[in-house]
Amino acid sequence: MKLNVGIIGAGRIGKLHAENLLSFQDVHVKAISDLYIEPIKDWVRSKGIPKVSTNYREILNDEMIDAVLVCAPTIVHAEIIYEAIEAGKHIFCEKPITFDINETYKIHSVVEASNIKFQVGFNRRFDPHFSQVENGVRTGEVGNAHIIKITSRDPEAPPPEYIKSSGGLFMDMTIHDFDMARFLSGSDVEEVFATGTNLVDPVFKEFNDIDTAIITLKFANGAIGVIDNSREAIYGYDQRIEVFGSKGCLQADNDLTSTVKKLGKNGTLQDNPKHFFLERYQKAYICELRAFFDSIKHDTKTLCTINDGLEAERMANAAKKSLEMGTPVKL
């Protein structure tokens, strides 16, 4: 028996999920919706998706559909989520859940009171390298964790229209690292101190945003941590993590585009990291959906819950406040 799924929002990530789902033998993409369907009609047909619509409610009203992927803009997440819960659909929701922490708290309550499965799209938890580190930490390979370090730099800045409605660096980009910090430590965060600045491009300043940041964390379990972010690393997508503890240190380095080295007059040249998230987290995107549908099929807890989504937003909010006030902020 196949699970029927509807995808709400056919932007880059919605289409990526749709294509990945085609190889799932127990999942059927039954419908996709987007406000603008003209440009994707050919794509929908070529992928064999039976139904496309401008109205996501057609998906929610389809009783055959078991689950929805919420890939619409963050600004409309809340509305869709409430209706989807009402309709009894399981929900996979891209991050962040909402831009308004109070709204997210409310959604949290409603989800908790329901029987639906809710998974947040923190894809990096499902990266094979990072989950191997998390597994090592959890099983005691590094002993007690002392210091957690996350390097996370994008290869290129997004366009101005994206920046404008992104929610800012902490809510848009660092939110993945905030979740990774909780994932790796197995602990909530109690205090955040953020330093941020404009070094990459003045356009960020225009939108009252930053492009470069260092965020210090204090975990409830006593460990401390640090995240550093940049909106532009010209050598590619820099995604490294490190957990240092009493028994050693686990590191996941960048995943390079190739193992080839060229030894020449001026040194040995090796390929750069995989270009950006689509290349770097290709497997992670598949694994997170696999995990979501498995949790539906086996009626188990999702591996990235609404609470994980909420906590990451709380950290993003605290970081923003810390940056504005110039002091650490307790959660």
Nearest approach, Cβ of 25 to its own copies (angstroms)?
A: 7
Site membership for its own copies, residue 255 (CB under 8 A)? yes
Task: With both helix axes pointing from N to C terminus, report the angle between 282-297 and 128-138 in degrees, rounded to the nearest 10.
Answer: 60
Q: CA separation (Å) from 294 to 4, 117, 264?
A: 13, 10, 49
By CB under 8 A, name the one of 77, 89, 124, 218 that touches its own copies: 218
Among 185, 212, 302, 305, binds its own copies (CB under 8 A): 212
Q: At its nearest, how many Å lie between its own copies and the CB of residue 250?
A: 5
Ramachandran sector of residue 167 (left: φ over 0; alpha: ψ -120 to 50; beta: rest): left
- 43: three-class secondary structure by DSSP: helix
Alpha helices in 114-192 (DSSP H): 128-138, 160-164, 169, 175-185
Please tell me what DSSP assigns to residue 211: S
How far apart are the C-alpha atoms of 156 and 115, rounded to whole Å? 41
Q: How far is the CB of 93 from its own copies (least distance, A)?
A: 27
* CB 136, min distance to its own copies, A: 7
248 lies in the binding site for its own copies (CB under 8 A): yes
Least CB distance to its own copies at residue 11 (A): 22
> In angstroms, what is the minimal distance from the CB of 157 to its own copies?
12
Cis peptide before 128 (omega within 30 of 0): no
Binding mask 140-179 for its own copies (x = CB under 8 A): -x--x-xx-x-x-x--------------------------
Yes or no: say if 234 and 248 are a contact pair by the CB < 8 Å rule.
no
Selected range binding its own copies among 32-40, 224-232, 293-301, 311-319, rule: CB under 8 A: 224-232
Which of 99, 183 has the CB closer to its own copies? 183
Applying CB under 8 A, does 1 fall inside the site for its own copies? no
What tokens appear for 220 in the block?
Answer: 């409830």
Closest distance between its own copies and the C-beta of residue 220, in Å? Answer: 13
Q: Of the ranges 77-85, 231-239, 283-291, 304-312, which one interacts with its own copies (CB under 8 A)? A: 231-239
Task: Answer positive or negative: Cα dihedral of 87, 91, 93, 98.
Answer: positive
- Our finding on whether 298 is near its own copies (CB under 8 A) is no
The span of 101-109, 174-182, 266-274, 285-293 binding its own copies (CB under 8 A) equals 266-274
Helix (H) or strand (E) holding 83: helix 77-86
Which value, in Å, is the radius of gyration of the alpha carbons in the chain?
20
Q: Which amino acid is at 280?
A: R
Collapse the DSSP code of 119 into the 3-class scheme (helix H, G, I; strand E, B; otherwise coil) and give the result.
Answer: strand
Report the 10 Å Cβ neighbour count for 30: 19
Using CB under 8 A as the binding rule, whether residue 132 contacts its own copies is answered as: yes
- Asked whether position 253 contacts its own copies by CB under 8 A, the answer is yes
CB of 291 to its own copies, least distance (A): 19
Q: Binding pattern to its own copies, positions 59-98, x when CB under 8 A?
A: ----------------------------------------
Nearest to 230 by CA among 253, 252, 201, 259: 201
Q: Which of 228, 288, 308, 313: binder of its own copies (CB under 8 A)?
A: 228
Phi then psi for 285, rounded to 5 degrees?
-65, -35
Tell me the C-alpha distance between 299 and 180, whole Å. 25
Which residues would be at the binding site for its own copies (CB under 8 A)?
Answer: 22-23, 25, 46, 128-129, 132-133, 136, 141, 144, 146-147, 149, 151, 153, 193, 195-197, 199-200, 212-214, 216, 218, 222-226, 228, 230, 232-235, 238, 244, 246-255, 258-272, 326-328
